[in-house]
Amino acid sequence: MRPIHILNGPNLNRLGLREPDIYGQDTLDDIEARCAAKLGRRGELVFRQTNSEGDLVTFIHEAEDAGADVIINAGAYTHTSVAVMDALKMVSGRVIELHLSNTHRREAFRHQSYVSLVADGVIMGFGAQGYLLAIEALIAD
């Protein structure tokens, strides 16, 4: 089984505080703990967050260098970053795009996703549970 790198973009470090009516009460630390428990000893988990586009691109490169599958919640970079999309094109493992909210029920600018253009699958609208669904999809094989 490939390692799993879960990469989180801008403002996700503020989960639990930021718009809990949209993003829920769970913190990113809560989500990381649930992901580690879900994966257990079945594989290696790397869980990271950054508010910097360049750092997110570097995290994607490091995931590829490690031969990892990637679960990415790119936050606002989903809708704006060709650099993130181009980095994800280089990932030889599977890529799952993840969003806590259903972006298609939100502002029109959130309907465009550069990440979707290169992702193998998309999970959105299930809150923190979406991370566990993404892990389940990767370990099901």
Please tell me whether 15 is known to bind a ligand.
no
Asked if 99 is an active-site residue, the reply is yes
Say which of 5, 77, 99, 114 is annotated catalytic: 99
Tell me how far CA of residue 37 lies from CA of 1, 26, 72, in angstroms: 17, 16, 19
Do the annotations mark residue 13 as ligand-binding?
Answer: no
Q: Does residue 104 have a known ligand-binding role?
A: no
Residues 101, 121, 127, CA angle at the centre, nearest 5°?
20
SS3 state at 76: helix
Q: How far is 45 from 120, CA to CA, in rounded Å?
A: 19
Asked if residue 79 belongs to a known ligand binding site, the reply is yes
For 7, list phi and psi in degrees, rounded to 5: -115, 130
Give yes or no: 77 in active site.
no
Q: Of the residues 5, 23, 114, 131, which is catalytic?
A: 23
Is 101 marked as binding a ligand?
yes
Q: Is the dihedral of CA 106, 107, 110, 112 positive or negative?
A: positive
The answer to the question of whether 117 is labelled as a binding residue is: no
Binding-site residues from annotation for substrate:
73, 79, 86, 100-101, 110
Catalytic residues: 23, 99
